[in-house]
């Protein structure tokens, strides 16, 4: 009968423990046969102790709407390379163009008023020299001229603002980079202001030639890395590269007492995606490297982690102390030695134990 999943394993485990609870040598279980196992191997610590980190972009820009409108065109998509200044998308310009036309008209009216006020002031100034007008009349003309000048300057500023709003309808790339996310589609309305802080997110662009990783190392190891700032980075796709630079932060986290280390990556093609994981090894931190086992081989019961160990044809459940998990494997700090064999599938291990007990009976 096929047995699988989390419901079968506890039942099998209970029956196995009950079957193995007696001390009658006449009913000793038979040797385990045909169980798929994995031999624990010593981890290679030649490159030093390793920590997991997340790739992040040094230069990453989240482009948001600076004006409201409807998306007229989207020129680039995710993973597209863009040049600085390239128009990524366009918004409708009806309202913004109307604002520019209105601001132009206001500026022309203000300029005409200023020209008239300037002419009147100059005429009164000439008459004041011949004492045909009083000083108060001249001062009134000067004030009218200054007011018209201020109105002209305000209208010019309004036109500049309207033109800036019109320019916001074209969203441009701030630098050479790669589009990492696209959040709008043609025809969709975008808004600026209101309840939003800033504007609606449109796209995200990052520079693939400036990437880094930050990891947290124990305070006791930070000084070793500071004295020898070297690191090797291993990616999930199998690539292994030397760090372009290593920066150890000057202070530790007061809660965890860990020290952050920043690893600058060289230019890679293809560039790793920000948010992806990588393993960073520091040659300065030697010490023993821990062996790793598949996560699928673990038996988890609350906070207890264990594996089935096969020795001399007999299976035993052994508790482990685990370290950091990376992908589908996890470090074993204590509980296993290189050369020991563990069951790859804990469900199959329990089934084998039941079968062996029946064979002994």
Cα–Cα distance for residue pair 25/40, rounded to 1 Å: 31
Cα–Cα distance for residue pair 32/352, rounded to 1 Å: 6
**Position of tokens 């560039």?**
271
Using the predicted structure, report yes or no on whether residue 5 has a pLDDT greater than 60.
no
- Is 324:331 a contact under the CB 8 Å cutoff? yes
User: Minimum mean pLDDT among 3-12, 58-67, 203-212, 303-312: which range?
Assistant: 3-12
- Is 354:15 a contact under the CB 8 Å cutoff? yes
Question: Domains in the chain, ordered, with CATH?
Answer: 5-43+290-360 (2.40.420.20), 49-58+209-282 (2.40.30.170), 61-92+169-206 (2.40.50.100), 95-167 (1.10.287.470)
Which percentage of the chain shows pLDDT scores above 70? 86
Reduced to 3 states (helix: H, G, I; strand: E, B; else coil), residue 328 is: coil
Structure-model confidence comparison of residues 133 and 336, the more confident one: 336
Task: State the pLDDT at residue 21.
Answer: 44
pLDDT class for 47, splitting at 50, 70, 90?
Answer: low
User: Minimum mean pLDDT among 29-38, 117-126, 167-176: which range?
Assistant: 29-38
Question: Residue 170 forms beta bridges with which residues?
Answer: 90
pLDDT class for 250, splitting at 50, 70, 90?
Answer: very high
Using the predicted structure, report yes or no on whether residue 196 has a pLDDT greater than 60.
no
pTM equals 0.56
Cα–Cα distance for residue pair 66/167, rounded to 1 Å: 10
Cα–Cα distance for residue pair 172/64, rounded to 1 Å: 11
Cα–Cα distance for residue pair 28/357, rounded to 1 Å: 7
Task: State the pLDDT at residue 360.
Answer: 62
Task: Dump pLDDT digits (tens) for 133-162.
Answer: 888 888 889 999 999 999 999 999 999 999
- Is 249:209 a contact under the CB 8 Å cutoff? no
Q: Output the CA torsion sign for 267, 273, 274, 280.
A: negative
Task: State the pLDDT at residue 175.
Answer: 93
- Is 332:291 a contact under the CB 8 Å cutoff? yes
Task: State the pLDDT at residue 134.
Answer: 84
Task: State the pLDDT at residue 103.
Answer: 93
Burial (CB < 10 A; 0-12, 13-18, 19+), residue 169, is: buried
Task: State the pLDDT at residue 25.
Answer: 44
Range picked from 101-105, 126-130, 214-218 for highest mean pLDDT: 101-105
Cα–Cα distance for residue pair 55/40, rounded to 1 Å: 30
User: Minimum mean pLDDT among 16-25, 129-138, 266-275, 346-355: which range?
Assistant: 16-25
Task: State the pLDDT at residue 13.
Answer: 47
Burial (CB < 10 A; 0-12, 13-18, 19+), residue 15, is: middle
**Position of tokens 């039941």?**
354
Run of H or E residues at 300: strand 299-301
Q: Output the CA torsion sign for 112, 115, 119, 122.
A: positive
Task: Dump pLDDT digits (tens) for 173-193.
Answer: 999 999 999 999 999 988 886
pLDDT class for 28, splitting at 50, 70, 90?
Answer: low
- Kindly report the average pLDDT of the chain as a whole number: 83
Task: State the pLDDT at residue 44.
Answer: 57
């Amino acid at each position: 009968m096929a047995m699988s999943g989390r419901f079968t394993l506890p039942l099998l485990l209970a029956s196995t423990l009950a079957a193995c609870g007696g001390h009658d040598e006449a009913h000793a279980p038979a040797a385990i046969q045909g169980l798929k196992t994995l031999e624990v191997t010593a981890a290679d610590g030649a490159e030093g102790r390793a920590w997991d980190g997340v790739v992040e972009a040094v230069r990453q820009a989240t482009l948001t709407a600076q004006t409201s409108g409807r998306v007229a065109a989207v020129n680039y998509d995710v993973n597209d390379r863009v040049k600085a200044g390239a128009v990524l998308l366009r918004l409708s310009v009806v309202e913004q163009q109307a604002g520019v036309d209105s601001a132009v008209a206001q500026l022309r009216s203000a300029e005409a008023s200023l020209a008239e006020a300037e002419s009147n002031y100059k005429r009164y100034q000439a008459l004041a020299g011949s004492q045909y007008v009083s000083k108060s009349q001249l001062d009134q003309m000067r004030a009218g001229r200054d007011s018209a000048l201020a109105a002209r300057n305000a209208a010019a500023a309004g036109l500049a603002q309207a033109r800036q709003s019109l320019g916001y309808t074209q969203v441009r790339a701030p630098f050479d980079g790669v589009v990492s996310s696209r959040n709008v589609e043609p025809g969709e309305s975008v808004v600026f202001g209101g309840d939003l802080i800033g504007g609606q997110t449109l796209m995200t662009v990052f520079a693939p030639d400036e990437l880094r990783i930050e990891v947290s190392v124990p305070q006791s190891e930070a000084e070793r890395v500071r004295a020898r700032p070297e690191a090797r980075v291993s990616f999930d796709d199998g690539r292994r590269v030397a760090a372009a630079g290593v920066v150890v932060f000057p202070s530790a986290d007061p809660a965890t007492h860990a020290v952050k280390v920043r690893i600058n990556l060289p230019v890679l093609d293809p560039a790793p995606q920000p948010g992806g994981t990588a393993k960073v090894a520091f040659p300065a931190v030697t010490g023993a490297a821990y062996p790793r086992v598949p996560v699928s081989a673990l038996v988890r019961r609350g906070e207890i982690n264990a594996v089935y160990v096969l020795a001399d044809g007999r299976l035993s459940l052994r508790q482990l102390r685990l370290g950091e998990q990376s992908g589908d494997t996890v470090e074993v700090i204590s509980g296993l030695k290189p050369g020991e064999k563990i069951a790859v599938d804990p469900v199959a291990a329990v089934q084998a134990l039941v079968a062996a007990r029946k064979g002994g009976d």
